[in-house]
Amino acid sequence: MAITSTSSAPAPVFTASGLASGMDTSSIVNQLVALESQPITLLQNQQAAVQTQVSALGAIASALSSLQSAADDLGQNGAAASTASTSSTDFTATPGTQAIPGRYSVEVDQLAQAAKWRSTGLASDQTVEGGTLTLTVQGKTYDPITIQDGSSLSDLASAIRQSGAPVSAAVLNDGTRSYLSLTAQDTGFPPGLSAADALGVSFRAGQDASGNPLPQTGQDPGFSQIQAAQNAVVTIDQLKFTRQSNVITDALPGTTLNLTAADPGQAEDLVLTTSAAATQQRLQTFADAYNGVMSLIQKQLNVDQGTDRSTSLVGFSSIRSLQAQLQQALVTQVPGLSSVRTLADLGFKTNGDDTTTLENALARDPAAVNQIFSTAQSGISSLVDSLVDENTRPSDGALTIDEDSLKNQISSMSDEISSMQERVDSYRQSLLAQFTAMETTVSQLKTMGSYLTAWANGGSTASSSTSSTSSSGSGSS
């Protein structure tokens, strides 16, 4: 406990320990306890080292998951990428990984459009009369909507939006009158239906959905069609395609056409080419993920004299095995392919990628670039899936087993640390009790010594007084 003086002199510091003996018993106890606690500190350091190993295993497992995702993407969507070029302003083309290179003649004959209906215009002081509104969208008739007499167009628009019918409803105002505009959410109409089936609006005044009479003091909304539904029509190499949407994904394999304007009779060339640059960009994601795993592994295995081996995974056979599996993946041949069979044939190397090799592979066999990854059971995608599963399965994956073992060590160390700490705490209490007893004894001895000293000093004074009195008496006589 410290007491601060109000004077300018430094404040004296008092300690509660050693009041009787003058010894700094608190410091002595702390030092003795620190010596007794050294095994705990050592065990805690070991536990921290094991936790570092667990974190390293987790980082490698996470990197393997990223590698698997990259491989699966190439296996499912292909690796070879194409580019599209055209001078047309009537459409755009977006080739995917399954696009087939070639030159195509494309003519946009007609754009798809949605069916539209609109009410008659109502002045600001007019409302809608009571009745029932029925909507038919793409051949399906939805539950009738009861319109209360005196409702506004906004009320009616809200009721339509809440009906579940795939129709947008908005109130438009031209500055004089308000109109309720209805538009089918989907353009065109599906096969087997007609334009009239895309959107139909029927209003029955004076009755609700059950046929009960309703007041009719408002205005008849008077809906009428202002735009008929229309499907898109595009001609590719003199073959006509009719689709419900202006975004067409199934006319040219692997390529999406987005129609923007109709220009009947005006065909334009669309050229699809395999792009080494775009393909390399797709492959780079896989390469980065591969390098990410290998970098983590090499960091654990490349040790020197200054490396703390207790925190690294250098002694784990599972890590060396994983490194060998990943290295083998670069040279594994995919059965059934001829000129392009391995990742090395695509330009993958342990010391970097080779763009020229990739360009040659695309020139020889673009399809094989995809098949290296997508071939069932033996392609790189399947190979990586098996490799990752073998190492990270929750039950018996090689890395999982190591991680579980390390976590068990950490748990066991925690239990041992708790037990050791209890002993140290007991030791501290024992020391405190012993020093307290000693201080009590010393204090009692000091008290007794002070008493005896005082008694002894008091006795001597009494003897001197007696002698002095005797001498005085003798002199008188």
Tell me the pLDDT tens digit for each residue of 281-314.
888 899 999 999 999 999 999 877 777 888 889 8
- For 210-345, strand residue ranges (E) read 224-227, 232-236, 239-243, 247-248, 255-259, 268-275
Is 301 inside a domain boundary?
Answer: yes
Q: List 243's β-bridge partners, or say none.
A: 232
Return the SS3 of 91.
Answer: strand
pLDDT band at 477 (very low <50, low <70, confident <90, very high): very low
**pLDDT score for 352:** 58
**pLDDT score for 360:** 84
Count of C-beta atoms within a 10 Å radius of residue 262: 18
- Please return the burial class of 160, using the count of CB atoms within 10 Å of its CB with bins 0-12, 13-18 and 19+: buried
- Do 137 and 199 touch, CB atoms closer than 8 A? yes
**pLDDT score for 351:** 60
DSSP string, 31-54: HHHHHHHHHHHHHHHHHHHHHHHH
CA distance 303 to 21: 56
Summarised one tens digit per residue, pLDDT across range 365-394 is 877 888 888 888 888 999 999 999 999 999
131 and 189 housed in the same domain: yes
> In the structure encoding, which two tokens stand for residue 25, read together?
């018993």
CA distance 187 to 182: 13
Is 407 inside a domain boundary?
Answer: no
CA atoms within 13 A on the CB side of 5: 8
**pLDDT score for 178:** 96
Domain end residue (candidates: 212, 227, 242): 227
Is 235 inside a domain boundary?
Answer: no
> In the structure encoding, which two tokens stand for residue 460, read together?
């001597």
Is 138 inside a domain boundary?
Answer: yes
Residue type, 252: L
CA distance 159 to 143: 12
Integer angstrom CA distances of residue 125 from 148, 153, 160, 217, 263: 16, 11, 22, 13, 46
**pLDDT score for 13:** 32
Domain end residue (candidates: 205, 227, 249): 227
- pLDDT over 70 (residue 469): no
CA distance 67 to 181: 51
- pLDDT over 60 (residue 425): yes
- Do 161 and 154 touch, CB atoms closer than 8 A? no
292 and 340 housed in the same domain: yes
pLDDT band at 237 (very low <50, low <70, confident <90, very high): very high
Q: Read off φ and ψ for residue 207, nearest 5 degrees.
A: -140, 145
Count of C-beta atoms within a 10 Å radius of residue 278: 16
Is 212 inside a domain boundary?
Answer: yes
CA distance 192 to 354: 53
Domain end residue (candidates: 401, 429, 460): 401
- pLDDT over 70 (residue 98): yes
- Average pLDDT along the chain: 86
Task: Name the packing angle between helices 366-374 and 355-364 (round to 10°).
Answer: 100
Return the SS3 of 337.
Answer: coil
293 and 392 housed in the same domain: yes
Is 271 inside a domain boundary?
Answer: no
145 and 220 housed in the same domain: yes
329 and 223 housed in the same domain: no
**Average pLDDT for residues 267-293, to the nearest whole number?**
90
For residue 96, is it left (φ>0), alpha (ψ between -120 and 50) or beta?
A: beta
Count of C-beta atoms within a 10 Å radius of residue 298: 11
- pLDDT over 70 (residue 476): no
pLDDT band at 6 (very low <50, low <70, confident <90, very high): very low
- pLDDT over 70 (residue 176): yes
> Which sign, positive or negative, has the C-alpha torsion 359, 362, 368, 373?
positive
Summarised one tens digit per residue, pLDDT across range 23-56 is 777 888 889 888 988 999 999 999 999 999 999 9
CA dihedral 148, 150, 152, 155 (to 10 degrees): -20
The residues, any chain, with a CB within 8 Å of residue 382's CB and separated by 6 or more, are 75, 375, 376
Task: Name the packing angle between helices 355-364 and 276-301 (round to 10°).
Answer: 130
Q: List 107's β-bridge partners, or say none.
A: 235
**pLDDT score for 90:** 97
pTM for the structure as a whole = 0.64
**pLDDT score for 52:** 93
Q: List 82's β-bridge partners, or say none.
A: 274
Cα–chain-centroid distance for residue 355?
33
- pLDDT over 50 (residue 12): no
CA distance 409 to 16: 42
Is 83 inside a domain boundary?
Answer: no
Q: Which domain does 287 fall in, by range? A: 59-78+277-401
> Which sign, positive or negative, has the C-alpha torsion 168, 174, 175, 177?
negative
217 and 144 housed in the same domain: yes
Is 268 inside a domain boundary?
Answer: no
Query: How many structural domains comprise the chain?
Result: 2
